[in-house]
Structure formats: C-alpha cells, structure tokens
C-alpha cells in the first residue's frame, strides 16, 4: 500500500512493479554543477594560452587527457566561448514549468484521483496517459521514464514477500528450530 503523498508505483518492463522515490536534485547536473565544470574548462583555456602540455593540464585539473584534447580542439576553433556551458543536456521538455508542477501534484494525488482505483500504483503507462489527459501530449514509456527522472523520481524495487507469510510463525521457527540447528 502506498502512503499518502508517496510518488507512486511504476511498472518496469519484465520486472514487475517498482517504487519511485523523489530526490530534491532531480538527477543530472544542477546549474551550479554545470558552472563548476565550465570553470574547469576555462582554467584549461588559460593553460592552453600559455601553451601548457595537455597531459599536465589533465593532471592538474584532475580530468582525463581525452577531455583536455577535446577542449583544446574546441578552444582553437572558437576560443573561450566554445568552452562555455551549453545548458542542460537533452531535448527540450514538451511541458513548461507550470505543467510540470501540475504533473507533480497529480502524481502526488495518486492514481485513484484519476480513475485507477483498483490499486495504488502508478505505472509508466498510466503516467503517460495522465500527461495526455492533462496536457494533450503523448509520451512513450521510455520518454515518460526520462520525464519522471527529470522530476526527481527514481525506481526502487520493493521487497517481494508472499501474501501468506506469517511473521509470528517465522519468529517462532527462528527462536526454536533455527537456534537448535545453529547449536
């Protein structure tokens, strides 16, 4: 059972249901992370201007030599502007910030609020249908998975236990039989 306010359940292909937990950072690099990486590239540009050895640059900046060679090639072609951050990677989202906030709120409300009352699980298919109902956009299951990750949800596979499991009987067995077996 999903508690109130929990993001929901999503079905993974061939793996059963997985629980999605929301993280504050939303996954990927934050604006601060991109700025930090840009500062490293600009420090490399200063070293390129002094004609420093790429291997030494890589060692001093603690990056791979391959990255330094790529940066140097870009720097030679376009200067420091070529090393500037180009913003978040990936294709632009089809939903604006207001729509993303509405989608978050809809996911938090739970599937029962949108007609799926047979269980309290969000599947990728249900989330895609929900986005279509609310905003008129279509998402593939993979696309919805990317969108949910962008919103900060990540899958967690729940512990599978038998419905018939009897915790009291298990505790009794551990206390008596298992204790005798272990000696």
CA distance 176 to 111: 44
CA distance 8 to 103: 13
pLDDT at 159 (0 to 100): 64
pLDDT at 27 (0 to 100): 52
pLDDT at 15 (0 to 100): 46
Q: What percent of the chain stands above pLDDT 70?
A: 81
pLDDT at 179 (0 to 100): 86
Strand partners, 18: 10
pLDDT at 92 (0 to 100): 80
Q: Which residues of the chain have pLDDT under 50?
A: 1-26
Residue 54's alpha-carbon distances to 35, 78, 112, in angstroms, are 22, 18, 58
pLDDT at 117 (0 to 100): 84
Residue 152's alpha-carbon distances to 62, 88, 92, 106, in angstroms, are 29, 15, 17, 15
């Amino acid at each position: 059972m999903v508690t109130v306010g929990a993001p929901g359940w999503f079905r993974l292909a061939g793996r059963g249901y997985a629980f999605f937990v929301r993280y504050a950072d939303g996954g990927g690099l934050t604006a601060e992370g991109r700025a930090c990486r840009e500062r490293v590239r600009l420090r490399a540009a200063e070293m390129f201007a002094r004609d420093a050895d790429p291997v030494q640059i890589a060692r001093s900046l603690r990056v791979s030599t391959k990255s330094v060679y790529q940066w140097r090639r870009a720097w030679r072609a376009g200067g420091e502007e070529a090393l500037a951050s180009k913003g978040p990677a990936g294709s632009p989202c089809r939903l604006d910030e207001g729509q993303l906030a509405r989608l978050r709120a809809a996911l938090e409300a739970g599937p029962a609020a949108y007609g799926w009352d047979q269980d309290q699980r969000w599947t990728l298919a249900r989330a895609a249908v929900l986005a279509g109902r609310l905003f008129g956009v279509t998402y593939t299951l993979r696309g919805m998975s990317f969108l949910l990750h962008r919103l900060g949800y990540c899958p967690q596979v729940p512990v599978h236990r038998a419905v018939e499991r009897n915790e009291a009987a298990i505790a009794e067995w551990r206390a008596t039989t298992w204790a005798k077996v272990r000696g």
